[in-house]
Chain A
Amino acid sequence: MQLTGLRRTGVLLAIPGIALVLLLHWQVFFWVPTEVTMGVIQRIYYVHVPSAWVAFMAFGIVAACSAAYLWLGDERLDMAAVSAAEGGVLFTTIVLLTGPLWARTAWGTWWTWEPRLTSTLLLWFIYVGYLLLRGATDSPQRGKRFAAVLGILGILDIPLIHLSVTWFRSLHPQAVVMRPEGPQADPSMVITLLTGLAAFTLLFFAIMTYRYALERLTVERSTAFAGTPAPSVAGGGA
């Protein structure tokens, strides 16, 4: 895709994404009823859960693009992977910030070694490592391959991380909204959560598209300044 096409896609994703975020604000603060047992703080849940969902999706994209990059060696796959990884780390950070805010009121403590919190923290470290690794090698190509390997390792490790930390009894509220036997929560809560999911997903893809376009630009610029002979330029005037 050309850069202008990428920008247009970014805008097309960002506009409805931002609109939905505004709608989400209205829903969270004025529309949705307060949850009985947890009180007003429960409303943070409409930001917390969609962020977690987006983060997991992002790391899935990182792993898929990383595997495809190692297999095919196409630079665009690596650009997509790093764009998704940065988005993923951003949303994981949101999860890690909103979690303790809620926990302070609900559990009376900022941080607790609760399974999902712990696995989210470990995930955050794994993908921060992914981003660090890219810049830590002298050869950029090597950094990309190393990061791809880590991106795959990360996703393979997630199920085991989760199983391991769940070994201790979980404090985390069980998923109420999405239970298979049907939603038990107020329909407006479900709608608000779905708004959040849609808004954050759109925003994530908008961010990822812009980040991808930026990566493309950076590479094109660095090529222009490096003065490498373009393949079309013949070596000699004769």
Chain B
Amino acid sequence: MTAYLNQVRIIVWRDLTVELRSRERIAAMGGFAVLVAVLIYYAIDLTIVRPRDVAAGLIWMTILFSGMLGFGRAFAMDLEQDQLQGILLSPISRGAFYLGKTIANFALLTAVEALVFTVFGGFFNLSYGGTAWLIVAVVVATAGVAGLGTLLGAIAVHTRPSDSILPLLAFPLLIPLVIHAVMATGRLMAGRPPAEVGGNLRMLAAFAILFLAAGTVLFRYVVEE
């Protein structure tokens, strides 16, 4: 068990160290997210629509799109000098490899989310009520998105249309999760009582558990031959 956790830890360390040094993915995801926010600002007429009524949905769309951008690259970097093969030739548990990758992706997406919430808050003059529960909702939803995104990212990197196929595979599976993420985020932002989103939070947790468990079990069939 300690060996397993150690393997997870070393993968997380490696992915985040490499990302901190190259800043390739965080720059792409963050830049993309800010640009989408600008686009959205001009895409909606603020004299007709009250931004805070639609903010939750727009925020999650932005998160989802930049997430796909980053997850697609997560394994692309491992193909350089065939590092993926090198890692698979070590005795590492495939489940630990998946979880390590997922945690690194989770951390990356969380950083982008902090940026997205800040930028949307500034652009649209939003105030975030119910902060503690809002963070819970966002964290649980992000775990689900990262869990599925990492598994499908490992698939997409080995396909020819690698960048376009990831959203095509991920969105149909993720849309139901997004429904709950938007409902929970929107209501909490509007200052509604947390009890009102209890069901959404439970569904988000169910998605996160499903995707993480399926990923841990199925990952070895994706990477091994």
Contact = CB atoms under 8 A, between A and B. Distances in A.
B195 interface: no
A160 B155 contact: no
A163 B210 CA distance: 14
A149 B221 contact: yes
Contacts of B158: 137-138, 142, 146
Contact of A157 (B168, B210, B218, B225): B210
Nearest to B177: A164
Nearest to A167: B179
A160 B222 contact: no
A225 to B, nearest CB: 23
A126 B203 CA distance: 20
A136 B161 CA distance: 7
A105 interface: no
Contact of A153 (B168, B180, B199, B218): B218
B214 interface: yes
Interface string A141-184: 11001101110111011001101110100000000000000000
Most buried by A among B176, B177, B183: B176
Contacts of B168: 125, 129, 132
B165 interface: yes
B206 interface: yes
B21 interface: no
A156 B165 contact: no
- Give the interface size bracket for A toward B: 20 to 34
Given A133-B165, A137-B160, A138-B160, A122 B176 contact: yes
A145 B154 CA distance: 12
B169 interface: yes
Nearest to B223: A145
A70 interface: yes
B contact face: mostly helix, strand, loop, or mixed: helix
B155 A133 contact: yes
A137 B154 CA distance: 12
A31 to B, nearest CB: 39
A122 B168 CA distance: 11
Contacts, number: 82
Nearest to A69: B221
A62 to B, nearest CB: 15
Contacts of B214: 152-153, 156
A126 B173 contact: yes
Nearest to B203: A164
Interface string A10-32: 00000000000000000000000
A150 B154 CA distance: 12
B114 to A, nearest CB: 26
Nearest to A168: B179
Interface in A116-141: 122-123, 125-126, 129, 132-133, 136-138, 141
A144 to B, nearest CB: 10
B175 interface: yes
B172 interface: yes
A154 B148 CA distance: 12
Interface of B: 148, 151, 155, 158-161, 165, 168-169, 171-173, 175-177, 179-180, 183, 199, 203, 206-207, 210, 214, 218, 221-222, 225
18 contacts: A122-B175, A126-B172, A126-B173, A132-B168, A133-B155, A133-B169, A136-B165, A145-B221, A149-B218, A149-B221, A150-B169, A152-B214, A160-B207, A161-B176, A164-B179, A165-B179, A167-B180, A167-B183
